[in-house]
């Protein structure tokens, strides 16, 4: 509310203004209590996600009330999209995949091979996840002229390109 009053922004511009003011070394600061609550949301999403995966894989719980454990994850997604980012969503999804793999290995044993069912599930997840990631750009309040393939290659190839630049020109210590 104060953001709108002080800067004269309305409706659709609030998200853009907040993202630009808090990112890119902007000068707008968020109250300490709000930052603390944001950190609680981040941590809760990881903890409750672990609990959901543990209950699902190890104990075989298929109860509908266990879906409530995903509520912090949904809040995390909305918080991330409101702040204009999407990379944190990828990080938490990768963490969930690693947790699920470790829990499955813990259940069946480390010397056994996990069935191809999980490979197919991962492939379907990629096929559905890549367009969802691309179109979440518009939910985050941004627009682009890049195609879906250009956007995905930027995110997947970016770390490799930066590592290559570091190898060619390392930072002086």
What pLDDT, on the 0 to 100 scale, is given for residue 45?
A: 92
> Based on the domain organization, do 1 and 50 belong to the same domain?
no
How many domains are contained in the chain?
A: 3
pLDDT of 163 > 80? The answer is: no
In order, the DSSP letters of 146-160 are S-HHHHHHHHHHHHH
What pLDDT, on the 0 to 100 scale, is given for residue 20?
A: 58
Q: Say how far apart CA 91 and CA 33 lie, in whole Å.
A: 25
> Based on the domain organization, do 14 and 77 belong to the same domain?
no
What pLDDT, on the 0 to 100 scale, is given for residue 73?
A: 92
Is position 140 within any domain? yes
> Based on the domain organization, do 134 and 108 belong to the same domain?
no
Is position 145 within any domain? yes
Token duo for residue 25? 């070394």
What pLDDT, on the 0 to 100 scale, is given for residue 173?
A: 63
Q: Rounded to whole angstroms, what are the CA distances from 96 to 7, 55, 93?
A: 39, 13, 5
Contact yes or no for 137/86 (Cβ under 8 A): yes
In order, the DSSP letters of 94-146 are HHHHHHHHHHHHHHH-TTSPPPTHHHHHHHHHHHHHHHHHHHHHHHTT---SS
Counting runs of H as helices and runs of E as strands, what totals does the chain give?
7, 0
What pLDDT, on the 0 to 100 scale, is given for residue 30?
A: 63
> Based on the domain organization, do 110 and 120 belong to the same domain?
no
> Based on the domain organization, do 98 and 53 belong to the same domain?
yes
Q: Domain span at residue 71?
A: 32-114
> Based on the domain organization, do 80 and 41 belong to the same domain?
yes
The most distant pair of C-alpha atoms in the chain lies apart, rounded to whole Å, by 62
pLDDT digits (tens, 9 = 90+) for 95-143: 888 888 888 888 888 888 777 777 788 788 888 887 887 777 776 666 6
Is position 173 within any domain? no
pLDDT digits (tens, 9 = 90+) for 6-36: 655 555 565 555 665 555 555 556 677 777 8
> Based on the domain organization, do 81 and 132 belong to the same domain?
no
> Based on the domain organization, do 25 and 38 belong to the same domain?
no
The Cβ of residue 54 has, within 10 Å, a number of other Cβ atoms equal to 16
pLDDT digits (tens, 9 = 90+) for 60-108: 777 788 888 889 999 998 888 777 677 788 888 888 888 888 888 888 8
DSSP state of 169: S
First to last CA, the chain: 45
Which of 99, 114, 129 is the last residue in one of the domains? 114
Q: Which helix (H) or strand (E) holds 47?
A: helix 32-57
Is position 6 within any domain? yes
> Based on the domain organization, do 163 and 128 belong to the same domain?
yes
> Based on the domain organization, do 134 and 87 belong to the same domain?
no
3-state class (DSSP) for residue 69? helix
Is position 68 within any domain? yes
DSSP state of 37: H
> Based on the domain organization, do 26 and 38 belong to the same domain?
no
What pLDDT, on the 0 to 100 scale, is given for residue 46?
A: 92
> Based on the domain organization, do 96 and 154 belong to the same domain?
no
29 vs 47 pLDDT, higher one: 47
């Amino acid at each position: 509310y104060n953001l709108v009053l002080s800067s004269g922004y309305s409706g659709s511009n609030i998200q853009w203004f907040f993202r630009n003011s808090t990112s890119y070394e902007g000068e707008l600061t968020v109250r300490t209590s709000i930052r603390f609550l944001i950190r609680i949301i981040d941590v809760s999403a990881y903890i409750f996600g672990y609990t959901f995966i543990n209950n699902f894989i190890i104990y075989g719980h298929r109860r509908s009330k266990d879906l409530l454990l995903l509520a912090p994850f949904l809040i995390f997604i909305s918080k991330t999209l409101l702040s204009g980012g999407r990379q944190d969503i990828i990080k938490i999804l990768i963490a969930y995949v690693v947790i699920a793999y470790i829990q499955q290995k813990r259940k069946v044993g480390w010397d056994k091979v996990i069935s191809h069912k999980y490979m197919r599930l991962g492939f379907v997840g990629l096929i559905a996840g890549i367009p969802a990631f691309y179109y979440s750009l518009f939910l985050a309040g941004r627009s682009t002229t890049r195609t879906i393939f250009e956007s995905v290659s930027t995110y997947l190839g970016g770390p490799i390109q930066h590592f290559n630049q570091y190898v060619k020109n390392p930072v002086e210590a």
